[in-house]
Structures are given as C-alpha cells and as structure tokens.
Structure 1
Amino acid sequence: MIFIFRKNTKRILRTLLTNPILIIGYWIFCFELASLCMYGRINNNIYFLLLCIVLLISIIVFTTIRIIKDREYDSKKSNTWQYISIIIMVAITLFYGVEIYKSATNYGGKLAWTIERIKNERSVKFEHNNIYEYGVEGIFEDINKEYTLPKKLYMASDFKLTFNSDGTITSFDTFVYGKNEDGKEETYLISYDVNKSQDITVWLNGYAGADYDEDKLLEPLIKTVNAIPVQQTVSKWKESKYGLVYYGKRNWGYNTEGIININEEGKEHHLEEESSEIIGYTVSIFVPGKEKEIIPARYHLIGDPSWSKPKTTPNQDSSKEKQQELTNNNEQFFLSKEVGYRLNFVDKALGSSFYSLSMTVDGGENWEVINEDPFNGTIGGPSGITFINNQLGFLGATRPSGTEGELYRTDDGGISFTKVNYTPREVKLDSGQSISPFDSPGMPYEKDGVFNMLVGQGADGDYNGNSSALYRSKDNGETWEYLKEVKK
C-alpha cells in the first residue's frame, strides 16, 4: 500500500511539473505575488492571484484524480522536457523569490513597510479626548498607560491638533523622543485621526535625528495648554472646528499681534516693558483656513525663567541673531550671505518624513519653495545639504532606522535631484564573511578640482572602529570610485 502511494505521488509530481498550463499559471502567480509585495495595490493584484490559485488547485486536483483512477496513465513527456520544466520552475521560484526578498528588506517595497508596521505600530485607547477637560496632557497619560514615556521629552517635529467646538479632539500628530531610566533613547511617532480610528497610533523605534534641543521641549506645551482658557478663547469665534499648534520656542521679534502672556492660573499677565523682544515657547489657537481673517491667539506662559530669553533692547543682538540664521546645518545651507537653501518639514508617515526645498536670495528674509519633493519619496530624516555653486548641490538622506543613507545630486539649482550611485566597498572579516559596512554617504566637498566623499557606517556601524570609506569623483559627483579606508 505504501509502495503504491509513493509511486502515485512521484507520478503526480512528475506530471504536474511537466504540465505547461501549470508552469504558466505558476509564473503568473509568482509575478502577481512579487508585484503585490513590492507595490501593494491589493485591488489590482488580488483578482489575478485568486484566479491563479484556483487554476493551480484545479490542475493539481484533476491530475491527482486522473492518475489514481487510471493507474496505467502516466505523463508521455520526454525526459528532456522533464528536465527543462524543472529548470523553468526553479528559475521562476528563485527570480521572484529574490524580488520578494528585496521588497521585504531595507524599505525596498510595500512588504518592508508592512513588516515594519507589524513590528513597530501600536494602538492605544484614547480616553482623554476632550481638550477642554484634559488639555493635551490627557493624550500622553493614555500613552503612558501602555508605554512608560521618558520623563523629559523633546519634539523631532511640531505638535499639531484639531478639535470641534465641543472640545472633542479630532486629530493630532507629533514625533517625540527622550531617554529612559537606563539612558537609552526611545522615540514615539504619535498620530490620531477620528475619521480613521478611535485609537491613538504609536510608532516605536523610529529615527528622530535627536539633538536634544531645549527649544523643542514638550513640557511647555502641556503646562501652557493647562493654563489656557481654551473654551473661552474659541467661543468668541463661533466656528465649528479649531486648531492648536506648538513649534517649541519661537522668536516673534517685536510683533505683539495675537500675543497673550498668561500665568499658571490662566490670568493674563502684562509685561512691564512692552518694547521688549518676544521670545518664548508659544502655543497658538486658531481657526484652520482663516488665520488671516481671525488672528490666532498666541499664548506665552509666564513664570518659568528658563522659558524666556532675557529682555533686550531693539537691535542689541540683531547681528548675533542674523549670524545664527545664516548658520549651516543638516537642513540649511548658505552659499553666500544672500543665497541659501533650506529643507522644510512637510509631513510624516510610517516613520518617515517628507520635505520640500526652499531658496532665499535675500539672506533669509524671504523663502520660496523650488522643489516640493527633492528626495523623490520618503526618508527618515535629512543628513546634510550643501551647494558647490548655484547649480550643483547635494542632499543627504537617512533611512528611518538610521543605519544607512542615500545621496542626491542636482545640477539645475535644486529644481530636480537624482540619486547618486557608488559601488559598495566589500571587506572580509576574520571569519571569512564578506560585508559592505559603508552605507551612509556624507556631504561631498571639492579639493584641487576633485570631489571627495566619506561614506560612513550609520548608527549600527562597528567595523574597524567605525571607520569610513573615501570616494573620489572627477565628473562633479556623477560617478564615484573607491580610494581608501579612513579611520576617525
């Protein structure tokens, strides 16, 4: 009996593997499955996948029944075709298997994002969802029930919130980070949209580009909103929907429009020196879409000396402030005192951020967006920006994990960017294993007519003392060749 079963199984497998219809159906199935993993678009692929599955199952069932009923039946295909069909099936499996693997790693496709979501996306029940009763502190109380938040939190992005006239919160989003009791950095990408879910969505283990800037503390937001008479403020506007925004510490100069100083009891506080420069943590309440018609109420909480800059007389520190504005960093670069470029945070999703690129020709007095999406998609955060002249420039991008990055190049002044490719440098470990540790390109720089670029190892780098690879380019950064390994 066992012998007959084994014999039938071999005949069934041999017949199936040499069936041209099954091979074609299997190829279409693998193609559609790989497309689904790479691009998502489930509505476009699911019908073909289901059709292929039905076809494959039908062929398998039909072939099995036929062979069991007719013991004399066997495939009439030649041995040559049997070998060819097996090679085709293996080739299809390997090719599309590699494509599916690519879509599941290094954020190379939709499957990678789905895996990332399963690993890091969490839902938190939103109970304190009325700003009149609980302020914004209730949001973090609800999250703290599920995850112990660091005591001192900083914002990697702004805090934005909308609410109805009855105080019901309808949406908010922010990206915060801090160090836990063990000194380990933790990040929380927090969002809520009542139209999508009744729960708060929290993304863990993201990349915040943490610089622990005191100007981006979260605590002033919570304390200020607790002191603001929010319901009283919006009632005079008689609208159905309102907004709240907090950017951290801001410099309003000497513009007092909409500025309201209050103490912790919620009473308005009038400063003795009305001519003083206005600098501090600001929480703004406004009517979305009507900011020009209805002046936002911009609240400063008075009481904590560390939250306000010492008063200055007009123009006392103007030269220092101007110099600070012209400082180059990962998101801003000035080619001259007048011409500069700046990356502007636009939005975020799935742990990544979206940026636009602006340009100024008057030293930062006015900025104009020249590229809505210079990175051609999503990134974890910008890692650098530099311009060699008014046409040639480079942008650096870091993946959400912080473990690798990419470089983008423009030769039309930032109107368009293309990804820079370079051959990864492989090194062999003592164990004999080959790795490519250098995957985080820095900003190129010109020296003696040749462009140089150091490619580091990212946040997870530990090879050879976290050394870097030096690349050079003789065609203005279009192509790069490896030169040598450089130790810090």
Structure 2
Amino acid sequence: MPKQKNRSKRIYSLLIWKNLLFDSIYTILLLLFYWLAWRLIDTITYIGQLRTNLPLLALCAIVILSLLCRVFWIYRKQRFLLESDRSIVLTNENLCIGEKKFPLANLQYIRTYRKGFIFRFKNNILIPVEGNQDISFLKGKAKIPGLWLLALAVFLLITVMGAYKVYYNATDFHGALSWRLERMASEERAKLGSDNFYEVGIEGIIGAVDDKVGLEPYLMTDSLEIEFDEDGTMTSIYAFINGYDENKVHRHNYLIYNNDGGDNVIVDKQEWNDDRYPYVPENDLKYVLDMMQSIPVQEVVEQKGEKHNAIMYKGVRDWAFPENLQYVTRDGEIYPPDLGSVSGPTISLYVPGKEEEITPYRYVWKE
C-alpha cells in the first residue's frame, strides 16, 4: 500500500495555486475577462469614450475579482492538508489523509504534471500526489496533461500586447491618451485673483497668463469668449491666441480656458514652427484690450437685466446694418456709425441663447 509523506506547505500551496489559476475552468474565464479588460483599456486610451467604457471596465474588474475570490475560497478548503502532519495514503478504493477518506469513486479526473499529480474530487477538492506513486490501477479515470504553461504563456501574451497597445496610444499622438498626456505636460494653471469679470477683465486674464507662462510681444486672436452672470461671476472662459516674437514670427499657440468657474484658468502652451498662421495686424489682441478699457460692460448688463451674459471676439467682422453698433476709438470715444456697412475688429456683448430675441451690442474698433 504505497504511501507518501505530507508535502511541505510551500510545495502544496504552489501546486494548488498552479492548478486553480492556470489549469482549471477558472483559468479560461479569467483569461477571457482579462483579455476583455485590456481591449477596453486599449479603446479608452485610443478614442476615450469614458462614459461607455469605464463602466464596462469596472464590470470586468468586478468579475475578475469575484473569480479570484472563488479560487481563494476553494484553496481555503484545502487547508486541512496544510495543517495536517498525517501522511497521504493511496489505496485501490480510497485516498486517505489520517482518518479522512476520499473515495476514488468520487474522483473526477487526474491532472498530470512533471513531478506529480493533482487528484480532483467532487466538491472542488484538490489533493496532490507525488509522481512516484503507481496510479496504473486507475485506468478508468481521465488523465489530463497539465496545461498551466500554455495558460501562463497566453496570460503573458495578453499582458505584453495590451501594454504595447497602451504605450502606442500614449506616444506620438496615436491616441486620446497621447493627447491627454501632452496637455498635462504643457498645461499650466494661472490664478486670476478674482472670479468677477468686472474686476478682472480680459486684460487681467491675459496678464495672469503672461505672468505664468510668458507671452510673446505680439499676440493675435480671432476666437475669444467669456460667459458671466449678471453680478460678474465668470462661468466660462475660452481664448485661442497665437504668439509672435519681435520679428512677428509665429512661435506659440495658447489655449486658455475654464469651464468650471473659479478664479483661475488653464493655459495650454504649444510650440509652433511654421508660417501657417501669419501675423495679421487687424487681429492683434491689443484692439480687444483697448476696446475693453472703454466698453461699459457692467452698465450695459445692468440695463438689459439678463442673468447670464457673454463677451465674444471673432476678429474683423463686416456689418451691413448698424443696429446696436458702436464705434470705439483709441481715445475711448463711443458713438454710433453713420448709415451703411461697417467693418473692423468687433467685440459682441450678448445674451447666450437669446441672440435672436435680444440684439447683441457690437463694438467696432475705429482708428
């Protein structure tokens, strides 16, 4: 009646973990959801869509965690072997550990490894048996070669391929993650000192940005918009500014924004080394700053009595009708134009969403 000494705790644990994690039905499920998780991570890093993909990724993580908990629970059921000093005895009818008997009639299959066997009984009971034991009398029981190395290879392949895809999406602007990392590296946060547009103004915003990142001597824009409440509290800031050096060579672009309110703006500074955007004097930011020194924004807002208002600048504009049009001069004079078309750098003061109902006030630069 062959006997084997009880395996050491370390060897027994390794055999059980190897079988459960890399050689069982749980292996297939774990690999499937592990692969799916990497696919979702690839999608997130490539195109984003966080609202759709993050819940699915969280679900995969929950399933994987649940499977691992199940595997650990099965492993815990085997602890009586770890805590026992009694020998394992294999007979023609039973596998015995001390007084506890496991009928071989309940043996489902035998997993064979290079140095031993794993006997799998009903109720997820796994018992290791040394490889020098004679199991030839168990001819009627299925003997399945251990495939844990194959499962481990698949796991490593999924990991390497998934990590490579994420790395690819994170470099050279191949995916959304790359753009996000680039923005994180180039973004700065500039403090305005106040969230009130009447106090800060566009000049205060540009000054704060200049203090933070250092602007070129020539600045050009045709895209600037600031939304604020009736009391002046800013709710949204957006500006895209081109920076030019002393020779009026394009050097940087600046994306300035804040969609969450508060007394700060995010500045995304990007280097630019071509002449795709030549300097256009008519779109120089100085016209916006000069006009804003004279435009009575707070007074107009109070007259309209609307809760939400906005300032917008889109560069040089042409106007065929003079309604609510005002010239603004370098000396600060504001007066209506004569009848006829009007053209020039234009600031609009309007009520968002009510442009058709309430005609915006438009201020046009006049030399």
How high is the TM-score relative to the length of structure 1?
Answer: 0.51
Residue 302 of structure 1, CA deviation: 3.3
Matched residues in 1 for 2:296 and 2:231: separation? 14
Matched residues in 1 for 2:198 and 2:356: separation? 25
Which among 211, 216, 226 is matched to residue 161 of structure 1?
226
Which among 243, 251, 267 is matched to residue 310 of structure 2?
243
Residue 200 of structure 2 is matched in structure 1 by: 134
Which among 61, 64, 69 is matched to residue 49 of structure 1?
61
Matched residues in 2 for 1:167 and 1:176: separation? 23
Which among 18, 23, 32 is matched to residue 23 of structure 2?
18
Deviations 1:360-408 (A, max 9, x none): xxxxxxxxxxxxxxxxxxxxxxxxxxxxxxxxxxxxxxxxxxxxxxxxx
Matched residues in 2 for 1:9 and 1:188: separation? 59
Code of the residue aligned with 2:185 in structure 1: it is K
Residue 25 of structure 1, CA deviation: 1.4
Question: Structure with the greater relative contact order (CA < 8 A, sep ≥ 6): 1 or 2?
Answer: 2
Code of the residue aligned with 1:246 in structure 2: it is Y
- Assess, with a 3 A threshold, how the Cα gap between structure 1 residues 256 and 89 changes in structure 2: closer, same or farther: same
1:373-412 equivalence runs, <5 A: none
Structure 1 range deviating more: 48-57 or 142-151? 48-57
Residue 268 of structure 2 is matched in structure 1 by: 203
Residue 132 of structure 1, CA deviation: 2.2
Residue 30 of structure 1 is matched in structure 2 by: 35
Does the alignment pair 1:89 with 2:120?
Answer: no
Deviations 1:36-55 (A, max 9, x none): 44133323321331331353
Does the alignment pair 1:290 with 2:339?
Answer: no
What is the aligned-residue RMSD (CA, Å)? 3.7
SS of the counterpart of 2:304?
coil
- Assess, with a 3 A threshold, how the Cα gap between structure 1 residues 70 and 86 changes in structure 2: closer, same or farther: farther
Matched residues in 2 for 1:230 and 1:265: separation? 17
Code of the residue aligned with 2:356 in structure 1: it is K
- Assess, with a 3 A threshold, how the Cα gap between structure 1 residues 184 and 302 changes in structure 2: closer, same or farther: closer
Residue 463 of structure 1 is matched in structure 2 by: none
SS of the counterpart of 1:49?
helix
**% identity of equivalent residues:** 23
Residue 212 of structure 1 is matched in structure 2 by: 279
- Assess, with a 3 A threshold, how the Cα gap between structure 1 residues 56 and 187 changes in structure 2: closer, same or farther: farther
Matched residues in 1 for 2:315 and 2:250: separation? 23
Does the alignment pair 1:173 with 2:238?
Answer: yes
Deviations 1:46-81 (A, max 9, x none): 133133135336636865985865799966385552
- Assess, with a 3 A threshold, how the Cα gap between structure 1 residues 75 and 170 changes in structure 2: closer, same or farther: farther
Structure 1 range deviating more: 119-128 or 282-291? 119-128
- Assess, with a 3 A threshold, how the Cα gap between structure 1 residues 110 and 233 changes in structure 2: closer, same or farther: same
1:70-469 equivalence runs, <5 A: 76=118, 79=145, 81-105=147-171, 107-155=173-221, 158-179=223-244, 185-194=251-260, 199-205=264-270, 210-252=277-319, 254-269=320-335, 274=338, 277-303=341-367
Deviations 1:210-265 (A, max 9, x none): 3333343222111111111112222221211112111112222x532222113345
Matched residues in 2 for 1:126 and 1:70: separation? 71
Code of the residue aligned with 1:237 in structure 2: it is K
Matched residues in 2 for 1:93 and 1:263: separation? 65
> Is the Cα contact below 8 Å between 2:250 and 2:278 reproduced in 1?
no
- Assess, with a 3 A threshold, how the Cα gap between structure 1 residues 205 and 8 changes in structure 2: closer, same or farther: farther
Code of the residue aligned with 2:290 in structure 1: it is K
- Assess, with a 3 A threshold, how the Cα gap between structure 1 residues 49 and 70 changes in structure 2: closer, same or farther: farther
Matched residues in 2 for 1:68 and 1:95: separation? 38
User: How many residues in Structure 1 have an aligned counterpart in Structure 2?
Assistant: 295
Structure number with higher helix proportion: 2
SS of the counterpart of 1:158?
strand
- Assess, with a 3 A threshold, how the Cα gap between structure 1 residues 99 and 194 changes in structure 2: closer, same or farther: closer
- Assess, with a 3 A threshold, how the Cα gap between structure 1 residues 160 and 256 changes in structure 2: closer, same or farther: same
Code of the residue aligned with 1:124 in structure 2: it is A
- Assess, with a 3 A threshold, how the Cα gap between structure 1 residues 165 and 62 changes in structure 2: closer, same or farther: same
> Is the Cα contact below 8 Å between 1:37 and 1:111 reproduced in 2?
no
Code of the residue aligned with 1:18 in structure 2: it is D
> Is the Cα contact below 8 Å between 1:38 and 1:103 reproduced in 2?
no
Deviations 1:92-131 (A, max 9, x none): 3344344434543455555444434433344333424323
> Is the Cα contact below 8 Å between 1:150 and 1:180 reproduced in 2?
yes
- Assess, with a 3 A threshold, how the Cα gap between structure 1 residues 258 and 22 changes in structure 2: closer, same or farther: same
**Higher CA-based Rg:** 2
- Assess, with a 3 A threshold, how the Cα gap between structure 1 residues 137 and 18 changes in structure 2: closer, same or farther: same
Matched residues in 2 for 1:211 and 1:181: separation? 14
How high is the TM-score relative to the length of structure 2?
Answer: 0.66
Code of the residue aligned with 1:284 in structure 2: it is S
Residue 451 of structure 1 is matched in structure 2 by: none
